């Protein structure tokens, strides 16, 4: 299962977490650095890609369907 989101959504989530004063070492600069080094797992089969900008209910259904196969 490969989860992803647009950069702007990830940035918003990071800012929200910071405002909530939850502990995290997730910084925008660290994210950008890791993103540059990321190697997509395109050789894995089966593979499902999930855009986490979608509602949780939709993601859950997609995962259930994926796991049935």
pLDDT at 27: 86
Cα(66)–Cα(6) distance, integer angstroms: 22
pTM above 0.85, yes or no: no
For 41-61, write each residue's pLDDT tens digit: 989 899 999 999 999 999 999
Task: Kindly report the backbone phi and psi dihedral angles of residue 55, in degrees, each rounded to the nearest multiple of 5, phi listed first.
Answer: -60, 150
Could you tell me which residues are beta bridge partners of residue 3?
Answer: 50
Residue 37 predicted with pLDDT over 90: yes
Cβ 56 vs Cβ 3: under 8 Å: no
Residue 26 predicted with pLDDT over 90: no
With CA atoms as reference, report the closest residue to 46 among 69, 12, 15: 69
Please, which pLDDT band fits residue 10 given cuts at 50, 70 and 90? very high
């Amino acid at each position: 299962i490969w989860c992803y989101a647009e950069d702007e959504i990830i940035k918003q989530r990071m800012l929200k977490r910071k405002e909530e004063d939850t502990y995290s070492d997730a910084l925008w600069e660290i994210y950008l650095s890791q993103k540059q080094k990321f190697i997509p797992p395109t050789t894995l089969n089966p593979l499902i890609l999930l855009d986490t900008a979608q509602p949780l209910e939709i993601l859950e259904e997609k995962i259930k369907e994926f796991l049935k196969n």
